[in-house]
Structure 1
Amino acid sequence: MRKGDPRKLGRYELVGRLGEGGMGVVFLARAADGRQVAIKMIRADLEVDEEFRRRFRSEVNRARQVPPFCTAEVLDADPDHERPYLVVEYVDGPSLSAVVAERGPLSPANLHALAIGMATALTAIHGAGVIHRDLKPSNVLLPPGSPKVIDFGIARTVEPTSQHTATNQWLGTVAYMAPERFGDNASAVITPAADVFAWGAVLAYAGTGRTPFAAESPPVVAARILTQPPDLTGLVPPLRDLVERTLAKDPAARPTARELLDLLLAAGPDRQPAVAAALARQPGLLLAAEEAQAATEQRPEHAMTAAAVPPELETVAAGETEVAPVAAPATRPAAWSASTREATPPPPPAPAARGGSRWGRIANVAMALAVLVTSLTVAGIASGVLPFGDGGTPSGSATTATSAAPAPTTTAPATPSPSPPASEVVMQDPLDKPKLWLLREDQGELTTCTFEDALVITRDKQGPYRCPGPMDPFTDFSMTVDVRLRDEGACAAMWFRFVGKAGYLVRICPEAFHVSTHGVEDGKKVLPLRTMPFTTPIPLDTATRVGISMQGTTITLERDGQQVGTVQDSTFTVGRVVLGIYPETQDHEPPFTVAFSNVEVRTFTG
């Protein structure tokens, strides 16, 4: 800490400096609960600008919507404080720039882990409607576990063309800036493709120890970015081919972040050995990547409704760039080899991105860059533990609903359900192949989520497990799905209004539905709400149509179109739907297998 540094910002105690950059100073701080966080305090010359405060507030709201998949989560902010500030998770790990400077290029396994981690982060960032704009080695941290991308979203609050930026200040480092960022109308044409270009440049640096357009001065670097092919000597196929595609001059010729992730994670024989080695060493990285895939999986257009978008994202202030949420292909691209270009050609260039005049003004760009310098590096921001809600809970860490449940409640014989309210389909998936729900092979949890004309979940241990699926949040909805219980003691599980690690849980067992809350307070605890016995048990390996309806505080459960019972509870109000497995009792031995098919989700319209 320096003389004049504040000792507190809001409810946070500042304990040290982490770095300083173009927008302000980054402090290590302690929250009221003792947790370490990183706080970026905005520069004094910006704090008096009301326009900046408004933009800062808007950008913080967007950044807080980015899922924490290989990113440092935005936790808090106060744009109205005397010194506006931003609070993010603290990441205890060195930057990529420091690691390469000290140890040289990364090993193949570490390089592939970095490629997956950065692609995961960009998939999450772009899926939330945010552009990073300043992806560079100092903004990639390498803590134990998975790489973390920091400083996203808020980067757009200061642009080179803005009144807040002097001619000797640039946001971003020239070596990682896409060609379109050097044009006169850069602020108007900037898209997520600029981040994908930066991904390729950062990866080339990590794999070779130098930038792909290296030169003796920023103007020459800019000229090479605009006119010359990248120098990728030292990278080997197929990763080299993928990096080369991301460094295309035309933004439309680059893959999206989601396409990058799909290509990197190609399953089966298409998965590269270095990728397999990286994922084996960092199982948390695979979970994060699959969650990011699930969050941006293609859905029916009306599934991405205003109800799924926080209110603060619905209005875009004048002069700000907005990015639509990503709708990724439902099927994964072919293996990422040199032949991929023929198998999945890029879309034709967008007219606005082709502007030959922009690429022709190299001399003007070089002259402009001669008076510019790269922005200062902010070292060591944010992070902690990623809340991967879809991974399996460690064996024995959750109390089973059966062991904790009260005596079964007697219910009346099943009766036909009343006429349902008006609704519309927002999700439909036969579950015969990866689409809305994805493959997973979790060796650590001894569980697989595979597809054999159904989503088949096999677990070789006790305890619950959730398979990766869509991230759309719902409030009032109905969901129906065919369920098969294939082994003694196996119970299918459906979570809904589920956020992070908490929501409602229905276990479908041979003898009954068990309705509980799951994860209140600690992410593990199961609190039974009601047991609904069946008049006739579910036979093994026989399809049963299960229906769940949630309206207000009323949960209604159906079996084969007949209402079984209802529960009243107000613990959770909104969240996603999840499919998984939850073995019945400790009396049965694994493995346990269940299968789901023909899922449909509707939201109520009246």
Structure 2
Amino acid sequence: MKPLRPHDPRTLGEYELLGLLGEGGMGAVYLAQSRGKTVAVKIIRAEFAAQPEFRGRFRSEVNRARQVPPFCTAAVLDADPEHETPYLVVEYIDGPDLADRVAGDGPLTGGALYSVAVGVATALVAIHGAGVIHRDLKPRNVLLAPGFPKVIDFGIARALESTSEHTRTDQVVGTISYMAPERLDGGAVTPAVDVFAWGVLVAYAATGRTPFAADTPTATAVRIMTAEPDLAGLPDDLRAVVGRALAKDPADRPSAQDVLDALLTGRPGFTPPLLPPRRRAPHRRKVAGAVAAAAVVAAGALVVALNTGDDSGATTITSASAPASASTPAEVRIVDTLTRAGQWRDKRTGDYSCELGPDGLAVVSGTTDDGVTCPGPATVFAGDQSIKVHYDELSDDACALVGFRHTGRARYELTACADEIAVAAYHPSGDVNTISSAPLKGDYAARHQLVIDIVGEIATVRLDGEKLLTAVLDDPALAEGATTLGLAQLADGDEGFVRFSNIDIRA
């Protein structure tokens, strides 16, 4: 505890402040006393206090948090959202947090490790049962009280995150190493985000590092979205549970109750094998080069505040969607059924053809693997955008091709083949890099809807509504460009075919 500073308040309501316990993005936490009882008082920063909607959200979240059983959390004792300086009063827990414990004594083992795994899972069951999502579970928010770990700061992050001023720019408040993939690419926030954070936290407690750790916060974010977790060093009987909690798709994660049941009963049926390694992508169209380097967290441009000196991976971020480029006004949109000449036009050569007809744009390649690009609109899109298009009748030796940010020789290309979908970057230098790929299964010749959503520098690809992959678009030379349709031929000597219809592109 530090002594009070000249600008710190001395009293709040009935509470006499004794010293400063810590500061964070929302405000400061003080040790206080009232009627002989020691408590912790958290005050809210003036910039949030000035927002009426924040005060209302704060009040609602505090009321929910009061419904959480206090045996595994820091109990909410009092709050005054109407005070000039809104404040929250919680039980004071005299014990180190998990980050300090691991930093000082090394990774936990044996009973100490299982106490944290079970204790935090129990807290999540109670928190979720009260209708609250923590949203910022991390080692700093787990206090190692005598007898049982206590989880703090639950629910209040939502009050901050959901104010109108912040949702206007899609701000996300949290700690990057513990954020689930869906939080990084704008997906729904459900209790599954806390289960993911539990998996990261237990891995950190057991090994002293987070399972997606990288050299920079942005690289960590990309690993969360695209890489398998590094769980080396976890005890065997924890590894499967943690691995399941770290599934990319929230639907594949267990609930907090399932996690707790698995820890307490060791039911083998709950812990399926970890996700299999990604199948090695086959060679496509003479594509050369290594996988592109990780670049930027989804949801746009980032303001990153590093929590230096904290090996728990606690890099707190606030992210806001970058505005669309001036060259792409928000109302720009291209909609075309591709059944008659319009934005796209017919083209026939000795090597390939692009023909518009009643069923859409038919693309036929010749007997070389140079690929086909059909003439289309020159409209330049930059910043956030969405591309939707249907394709069908794909031959087994070809790939449907959607180019975007296309500027002459440079572009990004998505190829949907019979057994794989991939995103590659064709750089102005002539280098080609496959950025991300995923296997496909099913009827490749059937009609499919392909969706590419670009937010900031992250592209999310969905096929028939199912999210398949994310790709980092980090080349500054490929910041804007046109959208193209075409076909990639896989081998010399064969002809390829694909038909496109109903394209919708919007900023």
Q: Which band: TM-score by shorter chain?
A: 0.5 to 0.7
CA–CA separation in structure 2 for the residues paired with 1:248 and 1:374: 26
Q: Note the 1:32-43 alignment, pairs <5 A.
A: 32=35, 34-43=36-45
State whether structure 2 residue 117 is matched by structure 1 residue 115: yes
Residues 88 and 376 of structure 1, relative CA distance in 2, 3 Å threshold: farther
CA–CA separation in structure 2 for the residues paired with 1:191 and 1:236: 28
- Cα deviation, residue 363, structure 1: 5.6
CA–CA separation in structure 1 for the residues paired with 2:167 and 2:112: 37
Letter of the 2:270 partner, please give it. Answer: T
CA–CA separation in structure 2 for the residues paired with 1:225 and 1:74: 33
Secondary structure of the corresponding residue to residue 365 of structure 1: coil
* Aligned residue in 2 for 1:151: 153
State whether structure 2 residue 23 is matched by structure 1 residue 23: no
Secondary structure of the corresponding residue to residue 180 of structure 1: helix
Residues 166 and 175 of structure 1, relative CA distance in 2, 3 Å threshold: farther
The answer (yes or no) to whether the contact 2:96–2:143 under 8 Å persists in 1 is yes
Residues 168 and 102 of structure 1, relative CA distance in 2, 3 Å threshold: farther
CA–CA separation in structure 2 for the residues paired with 1:150 and 1:23: 14
- Cα deviation, residue 373, structure 1: 2.9
Residues 373 and 72 of structure 1, relative CA distance in 2, 3 Å threshold: same
Secondary structure of the corresponding residue to residue 224 of structure 2: helix
The answer (yes or no) to whether the contact 2:102–2:205 under 8 Å persists in 1 is yes
CA–CA separation in structure 1 for the residues paired with 2:65 and 2:92: 16
The runs of at least 4 consecutive aligned structure 1 residues that moved more than 4 Å come to 164-170, 374-378
Structure 2 unaligned residues grouped into runs of 5+: 276-293, 311-507
CA–CA separation in structure 2 for the residues paired with 1:65 and 1:245: 29
CA–CA separation in structure 2 for the residues paired with 1:377 and 1:45: 27
* Aligned residue in 2 for 1:255: 254
CA–CA separation in structure 1 for the residues paired with 2:299 and 2:257: 36
- 1:148-183 CA distance string (max 9 Å, x none): 000001110122895248989852210000000012
State whether structure 2 residue 138 is matched by structure 1 residue 136: yes
Q: Note the 1:406-417 alignment, pairs <5 A.
A: none
* Aligned residue in 1 for 2:58: 56
* Aligned residue in 2 for 1:217: 216
CA–CA separation in structure 1 for the residues paired with 2:44 and 2:201: 27
What RMSD over aligned residues (CA atoms) do the two structures have, in Å? Answer: 2.9
Letter of the 2:95 partner, please give it. Answer: G
Q: Note the 1:444-455 alignment, pairs <5 A.
A: none
* Aligned residue in 2 for 1:12: 15
Residues 245 and 162 of structure 1, relative CA distance in 2, 3 Å threshold: farther
CA–CA separation in structure 2 for the residues paired with 1:23 and 1:112: 31
Residues 234 and 52 of structure 1, relative CA distance in 2, 3 Å threshold: same
Secondary structure of the corresponding residue to residue 195 of structure 1: helix
CA–CA separation in structure 1 for the residues paired with 2:20 and 2:73: 21
- Cα deviation, residue 376, structure 1: 9.5
State whether structure 2 residue 270 is matched by structure 1 residue 340: yes
Letter of the 1:255 partner, please give it. Answer: P
Letter of the 1:55 partner, please give it. Answer: R
* Aligned residue in 1 for 2:304: 372
Letter of the 1:178 partner, please give it. Answer: A
CA–CA separation in structure 2 for the residues paired with 1:85 and 1:42: 6
Share of identical aligned residues, percent?
A: 61
Higher relative contact order structure (alpha carbons within 8 Å, sequence separation ≥ 6): 1
State whether structure 2 residue 6 is matched by structure 1 residue 3: yes
- Cα deviation, residue 341, structure 1: 4.1
- Cα deviation, residue 370, structure 1: 4.9
Q: Note the 1:480-559 alignment, pairs <5 A.
A: none
Letter of the 1:19 partner, please give it. Answer: G
- 1:402-421 CA distance string (max 9 Å, x none): xxxxxxxxxxxxxxxxxxxx
CA–CA separation in structure 1 for the residues paired with 2:44 and 2:167: 14
Which structure shows the higher strand fraction? 2
- 1:14-41 CA distance string (max 9 Å, x none): 0011101111110000012x11100101
The answer (yes or no) to whether the contact 1:21–1:377 under 8 Å persists in 2 is no
* Aligned residue in 1 for 2:165: 163
- Cα deviation, residue 342, structure 1: 5.5
- 1:496-524 CA distance string (max 9 Å, x none): xxxxxxxxxxxxxxxxxxxxxxxxxxxxx
Residues 377 and 80 of structure 1, relative CA distance in 2, 3 Å threshold: farther
- 1:227-272 CA distance string (max 9 Å, x none): 0000011012111110000000010111111111111111xxxxxx
The answer (yes or no) to whether the contact 1:173–1:375 under 8 Å persists in 2 is no
The answer (yes or no) to whether the contact 2:53–2:164 under 8 Å persists in 1 is no
Secondary structure of the corresponding residue to residue 72 of structure 2: coil
- Cα deviation, residue 369, structure 1: 5.8
CA–CA separation in structure 2 for the residues paired with 1:140 and 1:131: 15
Letter of the 2:20 partner, please give it. Answer: R
CA–CA separation in structure 1 for the residues paired with 2:174 and 2:109: 26
- Cα deviation, residue 4, structure 1: 1.7
Of 179, 182, 185, the match for 2:184: 182
With structure 2 as the length reference, what TM-score do the two structures score?
Answer: 0.54
Residues 209 and 5 of structure 1, relative CA distance in 2, 3 Å threshold: same
The answer (yes or no) to whether the contact 1:93–1:143 under 8 Å persists in 2 is yes
With structure 1 as the length reference, what TM-score do the two structures score?
Answer: 0.45
The answer (yes or no) to whether the contact 1:71–1:149 under 8 Å persists in 2 is yes
* Aligned residue in 2 for 1:543: none
Letter of the 2:304 partner, please give it. Answer: L
Residues 135 and 367 of structure 1, relative CA distance in 2, 3 Å threshold: closer
Secondary structure of the corresponding residue to residue 22 of structure 1: coil
CA–CA separation in structure 2 for the residues paired with 1:241 and 1:250: 16
- 1:353-374 CA distance string (max 9 Å, x none): xxxxxxxxx8663694653235
The answer (yes or no) to whether the contact 1:138–1:377 under 8 Å persists in 2 is no
Secondary structure of the corresponding residue to residue 71 of structure 2: coil
Secondary structure of the corresponding residue to residue 72 of structure 1: coil
Structure 1 unaligned residues grouped into runs of 5+: 267-334, 346-361, 379-606
Secondary structure of the corresponding residue to residue 371 of structure 1: strand
CA–CA separation in structure 1 for the residues paired with 2:23 and 2:168: 17
